Structure 1
Amino acid sequence: MNYNIISTLDEQQIKELYELYQQEWWTDNRKFEDVLLMLENTDILIGICENKTNRLIGFLRVLSDFVYKALIFDVIIHEEYQGKGLGRILLDQVTTHPKLQSVQHFELYCKSDKISFYEKWGFTKEIGDINFMRKTVK
């Protein structure tokens, strides 16, 4: 498969990202306006596009202080392209990203069925006495 790695999204690709979000249970309630604001405040984004059409078929984003933490969000592959190694490409791209080479910890959260996927890059759920916490305000 021929594809391009991108670090910015054009107007059409933003619409395609919104469509990708609509296919997943964990992002299907996002509003388009909120996605635009989110993109404005994302430190790093990595997309995968089809070479011929430039259609967005994979995406992740990172929030980081570029020293201590890089938090990976929204690792998503279009359902038609899952199982073709594109998630691996995204993780390779983010873990070798030049701006993130000084970061002490890459972090993410995922469901149990994805743990073995992320372990291939050295992610572990063994992080000592740390707990994930959330306060919902909307």
Structure 2
Amino acid sequence: MADWKMPTDLQDWEDLTTYTPLRVTAYSGDRLIGFARVLTDFVRWGEIYDVVVDNSFQGKGIGELE
């Protein structure tokens, strides 16, 4: 478990996503169920941050790398 706290303020999330070059999302129908930020140079380097999955979908493989 991470020892840092995820932002709870909507403005913080908007700032995070605005300045993130790549975002990955997972949907179930029209419902957003997962989200991750990727910092990358779009050539050869990338790091995944802040993988968030809705509680009801956790443990079902959402956000796993194959």
TM-score range, shorter chain: 0.7 to 0.9
Matched residues, number: 63
Tell me if 1:80 matches 2:34.
no
> Match for 2:17 among 32, 39, 52?
39
What pairs with 1:15-34 in structure 2 (closer than 5 Å)?
26-27=5-6, 29-34=7-12
- Measured in 2, the distance between the counterparts of 1:30 and 1:69 equals 29
TM-score (ref. length: structure 2) = 0.76
- Return structure 1 stretches of 4+ with deviation > 4 angstroms: none
Q: What is the rounded CA distance, in whole Å, between the counterparts of 1:50 and 1:66 in structure 2?
A: 27
Indicate the structure with greater strand content. 2
Aligned-residue Cα RMSD (Å) equals 1.8
Could you report, residue by residue, the CA deviation over 1:92-135 in whole angstroms, capped at 9, with x for unpaired residues? 5xxxxxxxxxxxxxxxxxxxxxxxxxxxxxxxxxxxxxxxxxxx
Normalised by the size of structure 1, how large is the TM-score? 0.41
Cα distance between partner residues in 2 of 1:44 and 1:67: 13
Unaligned segments of structure 1, at least 5 residues: 1-24, 93-138
Indicate the structure (1 or 2) with the bigger Cα radius of gyration.
1
Query: Where do 5+ consecutive residues of structure 2 fail to align?
Result: none
SS in 1 for 2:63: helix
Percentage of identical aligned residues: 37
- SS of the equivalent of 2:56 reads helix
